[in-house]
Amino acid sequence: MKKTLLFLLAGAFLIFAACNKDNKPVPPDTGFRYGAFVVNEGSYNANNGSISYIDLDSSYIINNLFQQVNGRTPGDVVQSFCAAGDKGLIVVNNSAKVEVVDLETFVLLGKITGFDYPRYAIQISDDKVYLTNGSEEGSVIIIDPRSQRITGVIKVGMGPENLVKSGPYVYVANSGGWASDSTVSVIDINTDKVVDTIYTGDNPTDVDVDGDGNVWVLCKGKVVYDDNWNVVSETDSRLQKIDVSTNEITEDMVIGKKGDFFNPIRLSTGGAGRNIVYFAEKEGIYAVDSHNPVIADTPLIPGNYYGLDVDPLNGLIYVTDAGDFSSAGLLLRYQPNGMMRDSVSVGIAPNGVYFNLPE
């Protein structure tokens, strides 16, 4: 089945400019299991979200993978993607569901519902995934991807967004959603209970782990408006480091500027043993050494980007340009020194990249 599927999709393959000239196909023994998955939100209420797949050895990319295999789109506003064992979970925010696919073939296995505002997922084990949910009062929903059922609910802060695992704990950024929050919830994965609450800057939206296992938090700050949508007040956006041995904040840097409003939006670690912290601000992508954190005056990669992730193998920086949110966006790859490597057209409103690599 895998070889037949790959043959049918062969016409849809593209290749990054200036990359691998051997035209190497997707490996037939693993299908789509390993590689990079570009999450394309699609236009709001248009039901045209999608997943683009990149084979990291050959740099081949196939757009609209789910639709080509299953004959329909995943749904309205594809928010994130997560691998769990031999299954892939596509989190579809506005459709309030998770589509479960076979990772090798991308054939739909089923869908999970029972959410009101699903956001980001992370694998805990082959039979347990944590999924953030809620635009105001928030929770982490426990999913068994094998049975495609909800098995538990953990209450966290307001509007939980991204989450990351370090040791036996998961750190959840409580962004406030449609309200406001300034906390990170710490969950023990063995008991599925919140064991600590860390107070951060306003509206933490993204988290990642550096090479030492410590957690970095991106806080976009809070903007208060009056009834006519005039700005009444605005707090600083911040980059903070949590020492996981104590759950104390040991670095706290102001990174935003008054008037940047919806920035900063993304955070990712990578390069030099995952000890470079990258974040996306209004002016571009900035790089910070986690061992000697100093905010540069100018960005490493100038530009206004919607998504940011780093290949954990080679440190390539992946950024996305959502354009007008109604036509194909761009995925751009940069070397760790900030030099552009290549770019390719992907789906509508790409917001990030998920890497699934062999162990």
Asked if 200 and 217 count as a contact pair (C-beta separation under 8 A), the reply is yes
Enter the pTM of the model.
0.93
Cα–Cα nearest to 173, from 156, 186, 158, 160: 160
> What are the φ/ψ torsions at residue 116 (nearest 5 degrees)?
-115, -20
Per-residue pLDDT at 270: 86
pLDDT at 274 (0 to 100): 83
Q: Which of 20, 53, 17, 51 is nearest to 35 (CA)?
A: 53
Residue-level pLDDT, tens digit, the chain, 359 residues: 444 444 445 445 565 643 444 444 455 678 999 999 999 999 999 999 999 999 998 889 999 999 999 999 999 999 999 999 999 999 999 999 999 999 999 999 999 999 999 999 999 999 999 999 999 999 999 999 999 999 999 999 999 999 999 999 999 999 999 889 999 999 999 999 999 999 999 999 999 999 999 999 999 988 888 888 888 888 889 999 999 999 999 999 999 766 676 678 899 998 667 899 999 998 999 999 999 999 999 999 999 999 999 999 999 999 999 999 999 999 999 999 999 999 999 999 999 999 999 88
HSE-up (13 A, CA, CB side) for residue 277: 31
> Within 13 A of 311's CA, how many CA atoms are on the CB side?
21
Asked whether the bond before 312 is cis by omega within 30 degrees of 0, the reply is no
d(CA 22, CA 130): 39
DSSP state of 39: E
pLDDT at 28: 60
Nearest of 327, 329, 328, 326 to residue 318 by alpha carbon: 329
Tokens of 23: 């035209």
Separation CA 348–CA 344 (nearest Å): 13
Q: Which domains does the chain have, with CATH numbers?
A: 114-274 (2.130.10.10)
- Helix, strand, coil abundance in the chain, percent, nearest 5: 5, 50, 45
Using the 8-state DSSP alphabet, how is residue 285 labeled?
A: E
Q: Are 2 and 28 in contact (CB under 8 A)?
A: yes
Q: Which amino acid is at 33?
A: R
Two tokens at 260?
A: 């940047």
Q: Read off the DSSP letter of residue 282.
A: T
Report the C-alpha dihedral over residues 69, 306, 333, 91, rounded to 10 degrees.
-30
User: For the CA atoms of 144, 147, 149, 154, what is the dihedral angle to 10 degrees?
Assistant: -20
At residue 21, the pLDDT reads 40
Q: Which residues 6+ apart lie within 8 Å of 109 measured at CB?
A: 87, 100, 101, 102, 148
pLDDT of residue 2: 43
CB 270 within 8 A of CB 315: yes
Report d(CA 216, CA 239) in Å as an integer.
7
State whether the Cα torsion 108-113-117-118 is positive or negative: negative
